[in-house]
Amino acid sequence: MPALNQITCVEDFRRLARRRVPRMFYDYMDSGSWTESTYRANEADLQALKFRQRVAVDIARRSLRARLLGEDVAMPLALAPTGLTGMQRADGEILAARAAERFGVPFTLSTMSICSIEDVAARTSRPFWFQLYVMRDREFIGRLIDRARAARCSALMVTLDLQVMGQRHKDIRNGLSTPPRPTLANLANLALKPQWCLEMLRTPRRAFGNIVGHAKGVADMRSLASWTAEQFDATLNWSDLAWIKERWGGKLIVKGIMDAQDARRAVDAGADALVVSNHGGRQLDGAPSSIAALPAIAQAVGGRIEVWMDGGVRSGQDTLRALALGARGVLIGRAFLYALAARGEAGVLRCLEILANELDVTMAFCGRTRIQDVDRRVLVNPEAAC
């Protein structure tokens, strides 16, 4: 196992995670829907954008500090909401939230987390964001919003692109479940991951902590499976945001925007920020990459709302590319999950340090000293991703 200071990029963490995590949870983390073309495009289209190097510029005093939703952050980046984070590493949501707090960037807890809202709030001191899936049981959703407020969450992120589930072939083949079903194939794979198994046995948190014991009729994992299958709400529409916004009463983020018209609807709905996102290529395969959708969306809303982006961000250089094309900040999912799975809280902190260093050095090569001054001029071919 390499020392943390020998891990120099996100790809190092990915390789370590693959060796450590059971196959069904690694595949859940590192795959897309259908042919995975959009999943791959998220990374490839970012890599197609080339930087304009500048020289003989005074770059001695540089700063990555920024503000997201009025919060001071060490760099314009947040940890995205990711389901089953506590299956990548025992108590994973708590560990990731602590690392984000130590570094100085926001953490977002998923509705489909293993650790509950209350678990994370009790073990962190910095307010975090909570991500909401809107389900048919509106009474449960209302209580979930109230729980997020009681836990002092500083923003609510509503994910809009999961009215139906994209087909994820690997999850189906693996029989994804939490905790894993004791099939012969699963037991054989778990036998090869003894450290993961040992850590999971030591924690009581192995189910969906925000749902089990809170949703009506869901007292265990057996009842959760049937409840979840019935809860995706195909009727979700923009008018539902008015009720959510009123019930929440605080900062509102909408996630899953891939179209300029939808971006304008988000503004009209009173959102404070939107996330250009195709769910990491896990929903509509064949959709454009997030970076390809970003410029038109940023132009459409004209600064009336904060525009962020996720999808394919694996380096600080990718962060700079997104900022150049109009994002105020980025969210990372897989990048921090690899680090969490590989090395826990220390791994996530090291991942953030790596991303910050890459962002800082690349910004310097482009002749910029303040992250707020990054624009399309740092790219040779800003149209390449469009």
176 pLDDT band, cuts 50/70/90, is confident
Assign 181 a pLDDT band (cuts: 50, 70, 90). Answer: confident
Q: Is 279 a catalytic residue?
A: yes
> What is the SS3 assignment for 295?
helix
What band does 223 get if pLDDT is binned at 50, 70 and 90? low
Q: What are phi and psi of 244, to 5 degrees?
A: -65, -45
Determine the pLDDT at residue 165: 86
Q: Which residues are annotated as a binding site?
A: 28, 81-83, 110, 131, 133, 159, 168, 255, 277, 279, 282, 310-314, 333-334
Encode burial over 257-280: b for 16+ CB neighbours within 10 A, e otherwise: bbebebbbbbbebebbbbbbbbbb
**227 — pLDDT class (breaks 50, 70, 90):** confident
Which residue is catalytic, options 279, 321, 328, 350? Answer: 279
148 has pLDDT over 90:
yes
Q: Per-domain residue ranges for the chain? A: 4-378
Strands 108-109 and 77-79: unpaired
Asked if the model's pLDDT at residue 321 lies above 90, the reply is yes
Amino acid at 319: T
Contact 370/62 with Cβ under 8 angstroms?
A: yes
Q: What was the pLDDT predicted at 262? A: 98
CA distances from 88 to 78, 173, 194, 343 (A): 19, 19, 14, 10
| pLDDT on residue 220 | 62
Tokens of 368: 């910029």
Q: Please tell me the distance from the alpha carbon of residue 191 to that of residue 202, in angstroms, as a whole number.
A: 17
* Dihedral, CA of residue 96, residue 199, residue 82 and residue 143, to nearest 10: -90
Average pLDDT, the chain: 95
Q: Is the pLDDT of residue 221 over 60?
A: no
Please say whether the beta carbons of 22 and 180 come within 8 A.
yes
Amino acid 179: pLDDT: 74
Residue 90 to residue 86: CA distance in whole angstroms = 5
In the annotated binding site for FMN, the residues are 81-83, 110, 131, 159, 255, 277, 310-314, 333-334
Confidence of residue 4 (pLDDT cuts 50, 70, 90): very high
Q: How confident is the model at residue 217 (pLDDT cuts 50, 70, 90)?
A: confident
For the stretch 71-116, pLDDT in tens is 999 999 999 999 999 999 999 999 999 999 999 999 999 999 999 9
Produce one character per residue of 225-237: b if its CB has 16 or more CB atoms within 10 Å, e if not. Answer: eebbeebebeebe
What per-residue confidence (pLDDT) applies to 59?
A: 97
Q: 85 with 110: CB under 8 angstroms?
A: yes
Long-range contacts of the stretch 61-66 (C-beta < 8 A, 24+): 61/369, 62/360, 62/363, 62/364, 62/368, 62/369, 62/370, 63/369, 63/370, 63/371, 64/356, 64/359, 64/360, 64/363, 64/371, 65/371, 66/328, 66/329, 66/371, 66/372
Three-state SS letters, 220-282: CHHHHHHHHHHHECCCCCHHHHHHHHHHHCCEEEEEEECCHHHHHHHHHCCCCEEEECCHHHC
| Residue 375 identity (one-letter amino acid) | D
| pLDDT given for residue 184 in this prediction | 86
**Cis before 382? omega within 30:** no
pLDDT digits 0-9 by tens, 339-368: 999 999 999 999 999 999 999 999 999 999
Q: Which two tokens stand for residue 165?
A: 């589930």
- In the predicted model, is pLDDT for residue 225 greater than 70? no
Residues annotated within a binding site for glyoxylate: 28, 133, 168, 279, 282
Place of tokens 């200071």: 5
pLDDT of residue 97: 98
CATH of 4-378, one of 3.40.50.300, 3.20.20.70, 1.10.10.10, 3.40.190.10: 3.20.20.70
pLDDT category of residue 230 using cuts at 50, 70 and 90: confident
The partner residues of 71 in beta bridges, in order of sequence, read 68
Q: Do the bridges between strand 71-73 and strand 66-68 make them parallel or antiparallel, or are there none, so unpaired?
A: antiparallel
In this structure, are residues 371 and 66 in contact, taking their beta carbons and an 8 Å threshold? yes
Residues 6+ apart with CB under 8 A from 187: none
